Amino acid sequence: MRPGILDCGIIAAVQWQAKEFSDRTSIACKVTCVNDEIALDSDLAIAVFRVFQETLTNISKHANASHVQVKLVELEGLILLEVTDNGCGITDIDMEKQASFGIRGMRERCQQLKGNFHISGDSERGTKVTILIPMSNLEYQSGHLVGLENEFRGPQQPGPIKKKKKVSRL
């Protein structure tokens, strides 16, 4: 089922959902978009929006966060969504639970669209969820996706990393 807010475009939908989340949970949620609008086909828009919703649900239930940062970017024919919180960080044990249907669902949505899903947690920095999905049906080399994902992330933050684990990369 397609959420009606997507009729306004993915950027407006993500901004609206972030405001609803902040109003409901009192967790600050800042959305950064480089583009004024990103034209996505219906399936891709729904997938990106649903992954965003599930990520916010997980933050409200598990993260004990006070701030969420969201980046939504069109990058060389790819859509990148990155959601970072300052909570307790997802643990290796939580990422490996068989009953983690939310994480499994996010991964499957990305795989169906030939994209990448990545989640990492750090007890001092919180959790980061990143998806990177081609905007068209063209086949992208996985190396191209990984290279662009690494380029977008930029330099790593200094300091020790307590826990970090890759969940799924296509």
CATH code (residue 66): 3.30.565.10
**Which residue is it, tokens 């992330």?**
153
Is the residue at 159 inside a domain?
no
Is the residue at 110 inside a domain?
yes
Locate all alpha helices (DSSP H) within 4-41, ordered by sequence.
Answer: 10-25
Predicted structure pTM score:
0.81
Is the residue at 68 inside a domain?
yes
Beta bridge partners of 84: 69, 128
Is the residue at 90 inside a domain?
yes
Is the residue at 30 inside a domain?
yes
CB within 8 A of 27, min separation 6: which ones? Answer: 21, 59, 60, 65, 66, 67, 68, 85
Is the residue at 162 inside a domain?
no
Residue (of 138, 87, 89) closest to 115 by Cα position: 138
The residue range of the domain holding 8 is: 4-153
Structure-token pair, residue 52: 């965003």
Is the residue at 164 inside a domain?
no
| Share of residues in the chain with pLDDT > 70 (%) | 80
pLDDT at 148: 57
